[in-house]
């Protein structure tokens, strides 16, 4: 009979949980390729399970949870002090809405950038948003998410990746699932992980990574499988609590882990 041995996924330099155990069919250590494939299957299974759970939520529940999340985000000292921030534009359903956060960002005079998927090469950039009227003009793109056009009026929008002098202080990230070790499971395309890697490889400091999750998306410690190219969060905000990286806890308010 084949023997199931635990394989360890060890994070490198990105604040990953030190160990996440998965079970694989092996007598000895797996190759990196096989390990990546095993983690990919686990991610897919977890993504399907949580997505099914989220589809059962009523719009009222999502709206109430989103309001509580917004209050927590606005209370963060790092949010109050940041000058430039990226925030996702929420899907029509199954995730926390960000309309109120975006309104506060714009009304407080901070620079707002939102994701833009480049269909030609599958990369993601962040483009500048200038006003509420600007957002109202956006058309829906992939997954029903509003996206900015490349132009604002007759001018090209500011782009984070193509403008080395532009920096981000904070990124508000969506996800399918999160755990108490601050691991994040996205939709499987790797957009955010690749963007953060590209951004930091340009010599700019890593922005504060703040995940936004509904109660139904939060799992226990080390329940989200990760590999070494997955970026972990600095802060996770849910309706009931904030989970903060230990070395940042004194800088934040509210509950920390």
> Phi-psi region for residue 134, left (φ > 0), alpha (ψ -120 to 50) or beta?
alpha
pLDDT tens across 179-215, in order?
999 999 999 999 999 999 999 999 999 999 999 999 9
Confidence of residue 100 (pLDDT cuts 50, 70, 90): very high
pLDDT tens across 71-88, in order?
999 999 999 999 999 999
Q: Which of 1-5, 65-69, 139-143 has the highest mean pLDDT?
A: 65-69
Measured from the Cβ of residue 36, the count of other Cβ atoms closer than 10 Å reads 14
Q: What is the pLDDT of residue 249?
A: 87
Instruction: With a cut of 60, say whether residue 105 has pLDDT above it.
Output: yes
pLDDT tens across 120-176, in order?
677 899 999 999 999 999 988 777 889 999 999 999 999 999 898 899 999 999 999
Copy the structure tokens of residue 79.
């949010």
Q: What is the pLDDT of residue 19?
A: 36
**How far are the Cα atoms of 151, 165, 220, 237 from residue 98, in angstroms, in the given order?**
23, 27, 25, 12
Helices 99-107 and 59-75, axial angle in degrees (round to 10): 30
In this predicted structure, which of 14-18, 100-104, 240-244 has the lowest mean pLDDT?
14-18
Alpha helices in 76-179 (DSSP H): 77-81, 99-107, 132-136
Q: What is the pLDDT of residue 30?
A: 57
Copy the structure tokens of residue 153.
């009026």
Measured from the Cβ of residue 232, the count of other Cβ atoms closer than 10 Å reads 21
Q: What is the pLDDT of residue 35?
A: 78
Q: Which of residues 1 and 38 earns the better pLDDT score?
A: 38
Upper half-sphere CA count for residue 224 (Cβ side, 13 Å)? 27
Q: What is the CA radius of gyration of the chain?
A: 19
Copy the structure tokens of residue 89.
């534009």
Give the Cα separation of 154 and 230 in Å (integer).
37
Domain at 59-251: CATH code = 3.40.50.10420
Domain definitions of the chain by residue range: 59-251
Give the Cα separation of 68 and 52 in Å (integer).
23
pLDDT tens across 5-42, in order?
232 333 333 443 333 333 333 433 556 777 788 888 99
Q: What is the pLDDT of residue 6?
A: 30
Instruction: With a cut of 90, say whether residue 257 has pLDDT above it.
Output: no
Give the Cα separation of 240 and 208 in Å (integer).
21
Give the Cα separation of 111 and 177 in Å (integer).
28
Work out the mean pLDDT of the chain and round it to a whole number. 86
């Amino acid at each position: 009979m084949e023997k199931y041995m635990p394989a360890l996924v060890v994070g490198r330099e990105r604040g990953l949980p030190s160990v996440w155990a998965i079970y694989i069919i092996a007598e000895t250590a797996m190759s990196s390729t096989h390990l990546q494939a095993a983690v990919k299957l686990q991610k897919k299974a977890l993504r399907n399970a949580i997505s099914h759970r989220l589809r059962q939520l009523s719009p009222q529940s999502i709206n109430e949870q989103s309001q509580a999340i917004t209050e927590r985000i606005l209370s963060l000292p790092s949010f109050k002090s940041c000058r430039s921030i990226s925030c996702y534009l929420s899907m029509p359903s199954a995730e926390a809405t960000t309309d109120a956060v975006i309104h506060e960002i714009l009304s407080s005079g901070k620079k707002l950038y939102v994701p833009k998927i480049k269909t030609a090469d599958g990369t993601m950039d962040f483009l500048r948003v200038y006003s509420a009227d600007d957002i109202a003009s956006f058309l829906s793109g992939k997954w029903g998410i509003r996206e900015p056009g490349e132009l604002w009026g007759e001018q090209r929008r500011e782009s984070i990746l193509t403008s080395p002098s532009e920096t981000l202080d904070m990124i508000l990230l969506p996800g399918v699932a999160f755990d108490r070790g601050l691991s994040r499971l996205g939709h499987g395309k790797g957009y955010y992980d690749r963007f953060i890697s590209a951004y930091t490889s340009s010599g700019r400091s890593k922005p504060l990574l703040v995940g936004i999750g509904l109660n139904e998306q939060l799992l226990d410690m080390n329940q989200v499988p990760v590999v070494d190219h997955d970026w972990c969060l600095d802060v996770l905000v849910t309706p009931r609590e904030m989970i903060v990286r230990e070395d940042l806890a004194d800088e934040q308010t509210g509950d920390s882990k």
